[in-house]
Amino acid sequence: MKIQLLLTGNELMSGHTIDSNSAMIAEFLSGKGYSIHRKVTVGDEPLELLADMKRLCESGDILIMNGGLGPTLDDLTAQLLSDLTGKPLVENPIARRHLEDWCERRKSPLNNSNLKQAFLPEGVEIIPNPTGSAVGFTMVYEDCLIICTPGVPSELRTMMEQTIVDTICKRHPNDQQIDTIRLQTFGLGESTLQEMVNHDYGEWPEQVELSFRAGIPLLEVKLIIHDLSHKVIQQRCYQRLHELIGDFIIGEESTTLAESVVKLLQNRQTTITTAESCTGGLIASAITEIAGASAVFEAGFVTYSNRMKQQLVGVSELTLKMYGAVSEEVVIAMTKGALERSGADYGIAVSGVAGPGGGSAEKPVGTVWMAWGHKDNLRTRRMTLTTDRKRFQQMVTAITLDLIRRELLSLEPQPTYYQALKKG
């Protein structure tokens, strides 16, 4: 059974939009053991679109189309499907009622742009859309089930959850036996990890597919089997990986660094605070993005200027003058001040040169001093991360969260963090 995806919209071709919908669709399907064979993206060019629709219907069993259902003139999906299948566009009563309700809830009149969304190829099955104006729909052509979905991610998500996954499972019951263990790691490069595995294993068991995915900031490692009778070998590989690189494993599935830290703090019934200069609140926001953060996080300090480092977290003027804002002494003082004023048990402080300006020969752009740890046991580290401002802030946030994670787990506190990073 072959599932293919066709994404439409000039915005996807122009470089101003990043497509997250196809990853979401794939994630829903992989949860049921289905995978996507091919994904084609074209602009709002009717002839190109039509040619791809035809080819993908002929070469696959299911075609999921995304985008092109909106109210504006460049939304072409319904018209082109009518051209392809020969079914005329007619006003669909369910779609019409949906649009009326949608406008009613918004206390706005049903305008002609919206009304266009009620005209669909004859005989389609409607997929409800509880939030947006565009309903989805399905139809069959050349024995291929075509599923049309809106481009708005939250609407697509609801349709996948409530309707589409079931529709696919019913039409093509799954007999695959895929099972995947996903591990999130931080601090090792892909080739280092592959070498460690090669070196340790000699021959990696062929029943278990080992796959990597370099994300920002985590590297995902997957152990995939295609036959459930291989579960024992998969478990053995999993154990062995834990022995090899356990310190670098943040968690399973889609665990993030912040999730892991919040969970560790919750389990220990302890709390953390942050004093941030160069990251400007990003560490605090990473922690508070996690549901339940309020149990472990009461306060964070964004002390961007020297004056505020003195006033909010009590760094002395003398320390700032003697060592400069980007220094070991200052991050220690920041951590101590934040710990004292918040009453937290653990603290993180960072001060660095995010760039693009502000660097010097001694402290070039990318230099950062970090302090972290329990109030009775603070550690520090200097690194140089040569990258752009935004990425620098993300990397510093990830590294400090990992340093706290290691502290909480009593692991080696000074891993190399990618051989590519220069150490200060």
Binding to a second copy (CB under 8 A) within 274-293 occurs at: 274, 276, 279-285, 287-289, 291-293
Beta-bridge partners for 138: 125, 147
Pairwise CA distance, residues 265 & 269, whole Å = 6
User: Which residue of 341, 374, 379, 382 would you call a contact of a second copy, by CB under 8 A?
Assistant: 341
User: Which residue of 88, 154, 161, 174 would you call a contact of a second copy, by CB under 8 A?
Assistant: 154
User: Which residue of 162, 174, 177, 311 would you call a contact of a second copy, by CB under 8 A?
Assistant: 311
CB of 196 to a second copy, least distance (A): 10
Structure letter (DSSP) for residue 160: I
CB of 288 to a second copy, least distance (A): 3
Pairwise CA distance, residues 253 & 423, whole Å = 31
Residue 148 or residue 262: which is nearer to a second copy going by CB?
A: 262
Residue 28 or residue 369: which is nearer to a second copy going by CB?
A: 28
With H, G, I as helix, E, B as strand and everything else as coil, classify residue 350. Answer: strand
Taking Cα atoms as reference points, which of 391, 387, 369 lies closest to residue 379? 369
CB of 380 to a second copy, least distance (A): 22
- 149-155 — which CB contacts under 8 Å span 24+ positions? 149/21, 149/64, 149/65, 149/66, 149/67, 149/69, 150/66, 150/67, 150/69, 150/70, 151/9, 151/21, 151/66, 151/67, 151/68, 151/69, 151/70, 153/20, 153/21, 153/24, 155/129, 155/131
Q: What sign does the dihedral 183-185-189-194 (CA atoms) show? A: negative
What's the half-sphere exposure (Cβ side, CA atoms, 13 Å) at 113? 10
- The contacts of residue 5 (CB under 8 Å, 6+ apart) are 22, 25, 36, 38, 39, 40, 63, 64, 65, 66
CB of 410 to a second copy, least distance (A): 27
Taking Cα atoms as reference points, which of 201, 222, 223, 226 lies closest to residue 213? 222
CB of 171 to a second copy, least distance (A): 20
User: Which residue of 1, 50, 61, 71 would you call a contact of a second copy, by CB under 8 A?
Assistant: 71
CB 117 within 8 A of CB 95: yes
Q: Which span sits near a second copy by CB under 8 A: 149-157, 260-268, 327-335, 367-375?
A: 149-157
CB of 58 to a second copy, least distance (A): 14
Which residues in 350-389 contact a second copy (CB under 8 A)? 355-357, 387, 389
Taking Cα atoms as reference points, which of 60, 59, 64, 65 lies closest to residue 2? 60
Site string for a second copy, 91-110 (x = CB under 8 A): ---------------xxx--
Which residues in 110-129 contact a second copy (CB under 8 A)? 111-114
CB of 295 to a second copy, least distance (A): 10
Which residues in 72-91 contact a second copy (CB under 8 A)? 72-74
DSSP H or E run through 144: strand 144-149
Pairwise CA distance, residues 128 & 162, whole Å = 9
CB of 138 to a second copy, least distance (A): 21
Residue 52 or residue 407: which is nearer to a second copy going by CB?
A: 52
Which residues in 221-280 contact a second copy (CB under 8 A)? 222, 254, 274, 276, 279-280
Site string for a second copy, 2-41 (x = CB under 8 A): --------xxxxxxxxxxx-xxxxxxxxx----xxxxxxx
Pairwise CA distance, residues 7 & 176, whole Å = 26
Q: Decide if residue 308 touches a second copy (CB under 8 A).
A: yes
User: Which residue of 46, 93, 215, 246 would you call a contact of a second copy, by CB under 8 A?
Assistant: 215
Contacts with a second copy by CB under 8 A: the residue count is: 105
